[in-house]
Amino acid sequence: MMTLKTKKLQGEITLNGSKSISNRILMIQAILGEEFPILGLSNAKDTTTLKGLLSKLHEPILDAGEAGTAYRFMTAYLAWKGNNQVLMGTKRMCERPIGVLADALNGLGAQIHYLGKKGYPPLQMKTHEIDGWKQRVCMGADVSSQFISALLLIAPVLPKGIELILEGKVISRPYIQMTLNLMEEFGILALWHNDMIKVPPQKYQPKSFRVEADWSAASYYYSLVALSDSAQLQLNGLQEKSVQGDAVIVDIMKQFGVKTTFNKKGILLTKEPTEITHFKYDCSDCPDIAQTLAVMCAALEVNALLTGLETLTIKETDRIHAVKVELEKLGCEIETTANSLWVKKGITNKNQAARVGTYDDHRMAMAFAPLALVLNQVKMEDKQVVNKSYPKFWDDFNYLGLTNY
């Protein structure tokens, strides 16, 4: 179990490198086929899994485990390579759709076959001739931006490049822009106009690269500061001009009394007075911080409506349902739809202990951890689940005064 000794936060933490950036840089290096210095690479399990897969490209069967980004990026990469290989995953991974990406790749010229249920992992990659690949492909943009990013990363090395037509509402737009920005860092020019992204044939150019700290990880500290009485919390490694969509947390949290001051090391978070009672936000561009916002609002007894949550049902778990279940255990009143979550009544009884189900989802554990500031005790079903994105999470929370029992 865990609880915080004080509601006054003070300290300095150096955050882990961004998993999202790290995974994209690893793919660029693999596609380039030439190593270059990568500083501050994330030690998240998803990143180490991807790195491991890229070191075993000679093997006929590859297993991405539970790493969703790794699975999607490797699907496009292996389809481009055109070797006879099988890409496996965990039971949950085989329940997460991959058809939008696999079918788009097949439409371009790949040879991907489903070994189980159509549209889902595991996948069989077959040998093909890359020279015959087409240029234009349509892809649904309303399922996961990672499908689009996976395709964009290999686009420059395809014979004709890619003209990608996006169909439907674009989900997590900043993550697609992140991919394009990082590609540009390595010499790739692309044009995104309306519903088309055009990437001509080009070559990646090697260069040394430093990975920015993870804004998703920073969101949990923003939540802590919002729940605190006072705070002077320095988070190192974050940049004011970030390619990460979750950097929007800076503006969101102003409403909750969290002031962000950028400095040479990163950011300083301080607490200011606030009287917020209602909150509404479209999380389409930042779905990874939706759980954090929902739990924080419940703890502050803020009536909150979060929308744009379409992708949360196909993550490590159905995150909309999981948050609803865990908050209702604490006496909250929660209303949900397929793409929204409404905190109608927050945690009115602070004199209670919480046992949080983690659902094999790293963000469930980290989003609920700040409740240690307002409840008597908080116990996680599985603390190790944070290794997926932030292995040092509990160590850093301990440093701030968190006590584990």
Give the per-residue pLDDT at 171.
80
Give the per-residue pLDDT at 3.
52
Residues in the chain: 405
Question: What whole-number percentage of the chain has pLDDT above 70?
Answer: 97
* Banded pLDDT at 130 (limits 50, 70, 90): confident
* Banded pLDDT at 404 (limits 50, 70, 90): very low
Give the per-residue pLDDT at 111.
93
Report, as an integer, the average pLDDT of 86-90.
95
Is a pLDDT exceeding 90 seen at residue 23? yes
Question: Which structure tokens are listed for 195?
Answer: 């519903």
Give the per-residue pLDDT at 4.
52
Report, as an integer, the average pLDDT of 330-348.
95
- What residues form DSSP beta bridges with 307? 282
The answer on whether 46 is annotated among ligand-binding residues is no
296-305 residue pLDDT tens:
999 999 999 9
Is a pLDDT exceeding 50 seen at residue 387? yes
Give the per-residue pLDDT at 141.
82
Cis amide bond preceding 122, omega within 30:
yes
Give the per-residue pLDDT at 2.
54
The answer on whether 134 is annotated among ligand-binding residues is no
Look up residue 139 and give its DSSP letter. E
The answer on whether 242 is annotated among ligand-binding residues is no
Give the per-residue pLDDT at 313.
74
Look up residue 213 and give its DSSP letter. B
Give the per-residue pLDDT at 132.
84
* Banded pLDDT at 6 (limits 50, 70, 90): low
Between 261 and 400, where is the model more confident?
261
The answer on whether 24 is annotated among ligand-binding residues is yes
* Residues recognised as catalytic: 288
156-213 residue pLDDT tens:
999 999 999 999 888 878 899 999 999 999 999 999 999 999 999 999 999 999 999 9
Four-point Cα dihedral 156, 158, 163, 167, nearest 10: -100
| Alpha-carbon 314 to chain mean position | 12
Is a pLDDT exceeding 50 seen at residue 405? no
The answer on whether 345 is annotated among ligand-binding residues is no
At what angle are helices 99-108 and 68-81 packed, to 10 degrees? 10
219-250 residue pLDDT tens:
999 999 999 999 999 999 999 999 898 999 99
- Burial annotation 225-249 (CB, 10 A radius, 16+ → b, else e): bbbbeebebbbebbeeebbbbbbbb
Among the ranges given (4-18, 66-80, 99-113, 330-344), the one the predictor scored with the smallest mean pLDDT: 4-18
The answer on whether 136 is annotated among ligand-binding residues is no
Is a pLDDT exceeding 70 seen at residue 403? no
Is a pLDDT exceeding 50 seen at residue 98? yes
Is a pLDDT exceeding 60 seen at residue 283? yes
Cβ-contact 305, 277 below 8 angstroms: no
